[in-house]
């Protein structure tokens, strides 16, 4: 579905632009500006396009303000109750604000935020959450319909104020409500959608739930930015988000990893090798496939289409390109030589 485009710093979402991947900072903001900035760089290298911070108080907004000028990706301030914090962050030059207007309170406070955002061309995400709906909608028959209604109420406020730079999210912790609410909303409106399953859970269950919900929506062309919410590190949310986009055919500028699960035949520790190479592989912007196989029996043969592969062969390992062996080396040299070969591929 073609949505209107919204500019968040240098990243444009909606309007047919690539689906952006985002995550959230999981610790309190602090005065360790350099440390946080270098972590932001690492997240960007791993494929993060936008990063959100919780802003519970003025000290946090000041710390966030110090990050904004030097951050390599656009930052979002997540405001829950105090509209003044949104105004402070907008004053510091934040690239986007996320609010749940139901939590902000009186309409005039939302209006204040919208006026300030409008003056500085700062977009706002309205985050509707199935678990924190307005009181009168909490026992509404159908959760998805209640979420859409909640979003429409907010939309009316923004439209009355003539503010169009709005992104919506309709998140629930259950898959069906998330899919249904976003499908209904996108049939009616052209505002960009931020997709996610809220409180999706720990690493594996969270990725499974998010993948099911997000792929259903992305397959219909719904969704302009995604976040995989996990009880885990932000970097894993970023990796999961990018893998969902790659598996959905919406992203092809990253390495596709084929790796065997390992069995009793393995003479090469694929698990250890994958772990070691993962940070490099996820950060490479090369549309290639690599294969990491445990034994020669199914090594180059099964992975003959891979641009680069490695497998065990007796006491040695072999590195192959498109099924052809190019190195026969000791396991201790594997990381170094494999990395050198990776760098040679355009
Ligand atoms: S490639 Fe070899 S080690 Fe890996 S699962 Fe297949 S048979 Fe087992």
Atom of ligand 1 nearest to the CA of 268: 3
Q: Among 298, 302, 309, which residue has the most ligand 1 atoms within 8 Å of its CB, making it the best to mutate?
A: 298
For residue 295, the ligand 1 atom closest to its alpha carbon is 2
- Work out whether the CA dihedral 118, 129, 10, 156 comes out positive or negative: negative
Hey, how many other C-beta atoms are within 10 angstroms of the C-beta on 135?
Answer: 7
Q: Report phi then psi at 194, rounded to 5.
A: -100, 115
C-alpha–C-alpha distance, residues 259 and 274, integer Å: 8
The confidence score (pLDDT) of residue 323 equals 85
| Closest atom of ligand 1 relative to the 299 alpha carbon | 1
Distance 73 CA to ligand 1 centre (A): 40
Backbone angles phi, psi at 320, to 5 degrees: -130, 155
**Which atom of ligand 1 is least distant from the CA of 311?**
1
**pLDDT recorded at residue 246:** 94
Q: pLDDT per position in the chain (346 positions), as tens? A: 789 999 999 999 999 999 999 999 999 999 999 999 999 999 999 999 999 999 999 999 999 999 999 999 999 999 988 999 999 999 999 999 999 867 888 889 999 999 999 999 999 999 999 888 888 888 888 999 999 999 999 899 899 989 999 999 999 999 999 999 999 999 999 999 999 999 889 999 999 999 999 999 999 999 999 999 999 999 999 999 999 999 999 998 889 999 999 999 898 999 999 999 999 999 999 999 999 999 887 766 667 789 999 998 888 999 999 989 999 999 999 999 999 999 999 8
Ligand 1 binding pocket (C-beta < 6 A) is 260-263, 265-266, 293-295, 297-298
Residue 299: its pLDDT value, please?
A: 66
Q: In angstroms, what is the span from residue 344 Cα to ligand 1's centroid?
A: 27
Fold agreement between 6-247 and 256-344: no
Handedness of CA 324, 327, 333, 337 (dihedral sign): negative
Instruction: List the residue whose alpha carbon is closest to atom 6 of ligand 1.
Output: 298
φ, ψ for residue 51 (rounded to 5)?
Answer: -130, 135
- What does the DSSP 8-state code read for residue 17? P
Distance from C-alpha of 333 to C-alpha of 324, rounded to nearest angstrom: 19
**Probe residue for ligand 1, chosen from 272, 274, 297 as the CB with the greatest number of ligand atoms within 8 Å:** 297
Based on C-alpha coordinates, what's the Rg of the chain?
A: 23
Hey, whose CA ends up nearest to atom 2 of ligand 1? Answer: 295
- Candidate of 272, 294, 300, 302 to mutate for ligand 1, largest count of ligand atoms within 8 Å of Cβ: 294
Distance 298 CA to ligand 1 centre (A): 6
Per DSSP, 298 falls in state S
209: three-class secondary structure by DSSP = helix
Q: Which two tokens stand for residue 284?
A: 């490479």
Query: CA 11, CA 328: separation in Å to the nearest integer?
Result: 44
Contact 126, 102 (CB under 8 A): no
Of 269, 272, 295, 302, best ligand 1 pocket probe by most atoms within 8 Å of the beta carbon: 295
Q: Rounded to whole angstroms, how far apart are CA atoms 116 and 79? A: 14
User: Relative to the CA of 261, which ligand 1 atom is closest?
Assistant: 5
Domain boundaries in the chain? Answer: 6-247, 256-344
pTM of the predicted protein model: 0.93
Which atom of ligand 1 sits closest to the CA of residue 302? 1
Q: What is the C-alpha to C-alpha distance for residues 110 and 101, in angstroms, rounded to an integer? A: 7
Looking up tokens 């592969």 gives: 309
Q: How far is the CA of 266 from the centre of ligand 1 (A)?
A: 6
In the reported structure, the alpha carbon of residue 265 is separated from the centroid of ligand 1 by a whole-number distance in angstroms of 6
Q: Are 170 and 182 in contact (CB under 8 A)?
A: yes
CA 238 – ligand 1 centroid, Å = 29
Assigned token pair, 135: 């009181």
**Architecture of the structural domain at 6-247:** Alpha-Beta Barrel (3.20)
For ligand 1, atom 5, the nearest C-alpha belongs to: 262
* Coil vs helix vs strand at 330: strand
Phi and psi, residue 166, nearest 5°:
-120, 140
Say which residues have a Cβ less than 8 Å from residue 108's Cβ, sequence separation at least 6: none
- Ramachandran region, residue 168 (left: φ > 0; alpha: ψ -120 to 50; beta: rest): beta
Give me the phi and psi of 118, to 5 degrees please: -60, -45
Half-sphere exposure of 345 (CA within 13 A, CB side): 22
Q: How far is the CA of 276 from the centre of ligand 1 (A)?
A: 19
Decide which of 3.40.1160.10, 3.30.413.10, 1.10.3720.10, 3.60.20.10 is the CATH code for 256-344.
3.30.413.10
């Amino acid at each position: 579905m073609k949505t209107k485009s919204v500019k968040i710093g240098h990243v444009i979402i909606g309007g047919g632009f690539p689906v952006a991947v985002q995550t959230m900072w999981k610790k309190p903001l602090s005065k360790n500006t350099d440390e946080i900035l270098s972590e932001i760089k690492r997240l960007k290298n791993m494929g993060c396009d936008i990063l959100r911070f919780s802003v519970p108080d003025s000290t946090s907004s000041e710390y966030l303000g110090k990050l904004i000028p030097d951050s390599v990706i656009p930052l979002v301030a997540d405001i829950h109750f105090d509209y003044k914090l949104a105004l402070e962050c907008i004053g510091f030059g934040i690239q986007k604000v996320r609010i749940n207007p139901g939590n902000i309170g009186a309409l005039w406070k939302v209006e204040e935020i919208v006026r300030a955002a409008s003056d500085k061309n700062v977009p706002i995400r309205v985050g509707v959450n199935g678990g924190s709906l307005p009181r009168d909608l909490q026992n509404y028959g159908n959760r998805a319909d209640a979420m859409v209604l909640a979003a429409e109420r907010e939309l009316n406020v923004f439209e009355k104020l003539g503010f169009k730079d709005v992104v919506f999210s309709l998140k629930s912790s259950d898959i069906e409500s998330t899919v249904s609410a976003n499908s209904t909303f996108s049939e009616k409106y052209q505002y960009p959608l931020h997709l996610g399953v809220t409180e999706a859970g720990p690493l594996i269950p969270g990725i499974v739930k998010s993948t099911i919900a997000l792929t259903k929506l992305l397959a219909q062309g719904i969704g302009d930015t995604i976040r995989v919410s996990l009880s885990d590190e932000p970097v894993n949310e970023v990796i999961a988000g990018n893998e969902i986009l790659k598996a959905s055919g919406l992203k092809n500028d990253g390495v596709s990893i084929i790796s065997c699960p390992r069995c009793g035949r393995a003479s090469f520790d694929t698990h250890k090798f994958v772990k070691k190479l993962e940070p490099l592989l996820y950060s490479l912007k090369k549309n290639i496939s690599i294969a990491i196989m445990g034994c020669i029996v199914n090594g180059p043969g099964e992975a003959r289409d891979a641009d680069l592969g490695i497998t065990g062969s007796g006491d040695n390992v072999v590195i192959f390109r498109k099924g052809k062996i190019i190195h026969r080396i000791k396991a201790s040299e594997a990381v170094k030589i494999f990395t050198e070969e990776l760098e040679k591929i355009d």
